[in-house]
Each structure stands twice: as structure tokens, then as C-alpha cells.
Structure 1
């Protein structure tokens, strides 16, 4: 079921790219991209679990996600910015409740 959802989403993204760049994707290409995406997500999930376990936690947190994204500077920067925005928003919400 999850694999089917990934395949559907990849298909939609491929259609979008195909229409923008006038470059069609074959069904085999979409299937290959879907399979690679699903396997990469499985690897990410296992890595995140191991990072949390190594830190003696049972819950994955943002530090684990940042560690996972450490090889992509742009992704790490984006995640860090969003985390700071979320932290600031949560702080403001707590202040309003008091």
C-alpha cells in the first residue's frame, strides 16, 4: 500500500516534469524511480532509528534528521531553518497561553 502511494506520487511528479520540459517518461522509468525512492526511504528510516538508538533514545528527533541530511548542505540548511521557525512558533504559542 505504501509502495503504491510512492509509485503514484513519483508518477505524478514525472508527469509534471514531462509537461514542463516536454520529456516523456516510460512506465519502466517511473517504476525504476519508484523502486529506488522506496528503497532509499527504507534506508533513511533505518538510519534514523539507529541514530536515535545510538543516542539512547526511543524517539527520532530533529537532530537525527539533521544528521541524516549532513551530506547535503542545502537540505541541511533548509531543515535547520524550518526547525528554527518551528521552535520560534512553539515558543510564541507557549507565551500566548500564559
Structure 2
């Protein structure tokens, strides 16, 4: 019984830390907007934006979990995130572009890893052959 209580306490603490992090970030963003636009945000406004943001993130997390579960997967993929963002064209475009950038970087890293063992074997008299293009 004590284990359940300790687990709940740990989850509560983790949730509070996440809420505090969201509140801090929202506060920083509000400060940036305030200096750019010469407006002020009250503490209550920042708290309200933080709370709405946290709740929306919880909803997003539940939706992403359901999308993956519906596809009979236990892992959330970028396709799930794109599905979540489908109602915001600008967000969907941004996510798609970032996903393509990351995929390109991963391809470049894989290509470098393949080249390293070949570069280290310069004593060999055999010509370099790219196995991936056969």
C-alpha cells in the first residue's frame, strides 16, 4: 500500500515540475512579446496561459497515444504528430519540413559511418566500392 502512495506522490511531483517548467517558459515568452509589442501581461494572465497550455499538451499526448494504439503500435511516430497537427497548415508544414531535415541528417550520418571503416583501411590495394549502389 505504501508503494502505491509513493508512486502517486512521485507522479504528483513530476507533474508539478512539468507545470512549473511550462509556467516558466510561458513567462519568458510573454516577456519577449511584452518587450516587442510594448504591452504588459499580468501574473494572472501568464498563469491562465500556462494552465491552458499544460491542459492542451495533456490532450495532445492522449490523442497521440490513441493514434498509435489505433494503428496497433506502441510507439508514437512523426506520422501521428502530423495527424495531430493537420488542422494547422502552418504547423503541419513546419513539422513536415523539420522531419525532412532530420531524415536528411540521419542519411548523411549513416553515409559517414559507412565511409569511416573504408577510410581506415588505406593499406588495402583494392579499390573503394560503394556497396549501397549495387
Shorter-chain TM-score tier: over 0.9
- Where do 5+ consecutive residues of structure 1 fail to align? none
What is the aligned residue count?
98
Highest relative contact order (Cα 8 Å, sep 6+), 1 or 2?
Answer: 1
Residue 99 of structure 2: which of 70, 83, 88 is its match? 83
Q: Match for residue 18 of structure 2?
A: 2
RMSD over equivalenced CA pairs, Å: 0.7
CA distance in 2, matches of 1:8, 1:96: 40
- Where do 5+ consecutive residues of structure 2 fail to align? 1-16, 115-134
Moved segments of 4+, more than 6 Å:
none
In the superposition, the TM-score normalised over structure 1's length comes to 0.96
Work out which of the two has the higher radius of gyration on C-alpha atoms and give 1 or 2: 2
In the superposition, the TM-score normalised over structure 2's length comes to 0.71
What is the 5 A alignment of 1:55-94? 55-94=71-110
